[in-house]
Amino acid sequence: MAIHIQRQTAPDLEIEWQFDADEFGPVEQWLNDRVPDTVSIAAGETRRLSDTYFDTEDWRLYRAGYVLRVRRRGKRAEATMKSLAPAEDGLRRRRELTQPLGDGGLEKLEEGGTVGDLLKTLRGVRELRPLFENRTWRRTFVVRLRDSDSRNAGEIALDDCEIWKPEVRSAREGAEFFRLLRVEVEVPAESAEMRQFVDALRQDLGLLPASRSKFGTGLLAAGLEPTVEPDFGPTGFDASSTAGQVAFAVLRRNFAIMLAREPGVRLGDDPEELHDMRVATRRLRNALRIYANLLPRRAGRYERDLKHVADALGEVRDLDVHIAMFADDPEDEDSRRIVDILGEHRTRVRERMLAVLDSKRYERLVADFSGTLRRGRSPSPDESILAVAPGLVRDRHKKARKAAKKLDASASPEDYHRLRKRSRRLRYTLEPLADIYGEPVEKAIARLKKLQDALGLHQDAVVAADLLRELGADEDLPQRVSFQMGVRAGRMLREAEDIQDSLPESGAFRSLKKGKKWKGLWKEMEARIPEQADG
């Protein structure tokens, strides 16, 4: 289910063309003698800048799509966080947040602020480390449009940069540095006049768009390569694999997804990042349960810790779903008020979620689980997946079918939710096996997905109704808004009842309850049990 939530637009946008240069003489001559008649050029400042770039040991900022830079100019310092947007023919449009540090350092960011708050959200409790230093001699020129009395249309910077590793202070230590000459044109807003000016500049001088940002160049010069996807060991398997190899491969795949989505979850701009991380925790917990006999004893502790994380993620995800239900009607005043109330509630549960991700319990889970996955030791190393899989799938199928049979006219919302959870666990058990058993498993997964979709809508409606009634009971709410929340809650319950009425007639439900369509899968799985295991 894709969710689109209106987010606050970025308050600061940097718009900048970047070009590599061999020397600045021709550029300065062009600015003096050949600049187009539509603009005028005035000499600006000459500055000495010292920029140090930072990230955590596990590249949390980079993985979230940001870079942290601390710039010193004399006694003054400022911290800037920029998004790592790709260039389009030399033009970069990046979110840029800046916070003065005065004569202090990074410790000033602990007090909060524009950069400090975002940095804390992304890095959690991890320490920052310096990556490299960029020492720049910058000469600037101010660009103004001749037919406009508005503010400056842009600034040209000629940057002579030296990129150093953080532990090196000067060339006297015998160290080498990387030199970079860069022509940059920054504008407060895009305009046809400034684009024409930049086109003339690059064409007349034969300038090429910068192949890398200064940050990217600095990483290369410092010999640094950000680690985006952790390597926990093999993630592939086939019919010849042991059950232990399959168990560890499934866990490695989903743990990598969970960690890869964490920076996006911390950032909070894309609800689907949260959804994907939550689903990864569910798949991990399912795998830890069904393959428990093939995993070290500590796997049970991992399952409990993952549930703790999943519960925190789920609170925020549920509110994303509920907000999306009402955000489709922005013109309705009552809908807007309900969205505002849900948004305030979401802010509180998101703070709790971030506290969980910053906790020692979560840090210990990541460290210990990573080690277990890398070691990959199973107490039953020789059992074939073909011998083990039929029993695992049948057990999950039996529980899901039992839950389906219990549904009748007197069934409660909890009964439907139980079926949803059990059918989901069956689906998660089957999905990794599709490459081994092929079409019979793929068809079973498709049937379960249809059933889950219907049960998911049912659960969303029930939970939304309960939440609206709970929030609507707030005595501080205007009576009209409280009344409308009650009306919407009743509507949600009727939608849930409609799903309940239609479910018994759905093919996905009937196939699970009666079990006939599963016979092909049982036949395929049993036929491939190794003779030694069968005997």
Could you tell me if 120 and 248 lie in one domain?
A: no
Specify the pTM: 0.88
Could you tell me if 269 and 135 lie in one domain?
A: no
Give pLDDT, residue 496.
92
Could you tell me if 195 and 247 lie in one domain?
A: no
Indicate if the alpha-carbon torsion angle 290, 292, 293, 294 is positive or negative.
Answer: positive
**298 in a structural domain:** yes
Strand extents, DSSP E, 103-224? 128-145, 154-164, 178-187, 208-209
Could you tell me if 129 and 247 lie in one domain?
A: no
User: Which domain, by its residues, includes 133?
Assistant: 13-221
**156 in a structural domain:** yes
Could you tell me if 195 and 257 lie in one domain?
A: no
Total structural domains within the chain: 2
**277 in a structural domain:** yes
**Four-CA torsion 212, 218, 220, 222, nearest 10 degrees:** 180
CATH number at residue 121: 2.40.320.10
CA distance linking residue 246 with residue 125, whole number of Å: 34
CATH number at residue 446: 1.40.20.10
Helical segments of 94-222, H only = 114-123, 192-205, 214-221
Could you tell me if 121 and 269 lie in one domain?
A: no
DSSP-derived secondary structure letter, 384: B
Could you tell me if 250 and 181 lie in one domain?
A: no
Could you tell me if 373 and 495 lie in one domain?
A: yes
Could you tell me if 259 and 215 lie in one domain?
A: no
**130 in a structural domain:** yes
End-to-end CA distance of the chain, in Å?
Answer: 46
Supply the Cα-derived Rg of the chain in whole angstroms: 29
Could you tell me if 54 and 159 lie in one domain?
A: yes
Give pLDDT, residue 11.
55
Could you tell me if 416 and 461 lie in one domain?
A: yes
Could you tell me if 433 and 485 lie in one domain?
A: yes
**317 in a structural domain:** no
Indicate if the alpha-carbon torsion angle 287, 290, 294, 297 is positive or negative.
Answer: positive
**54 in a structural domain:** yes
**270 in a structural domain:** yes
pLDDT < 70 positions in the chain = 1-11, 148-151, 167-175, 329-331, 532-535
**265 in a structural domain:** yes
Report whether 422 contacts 401 (CB < 8 A): no
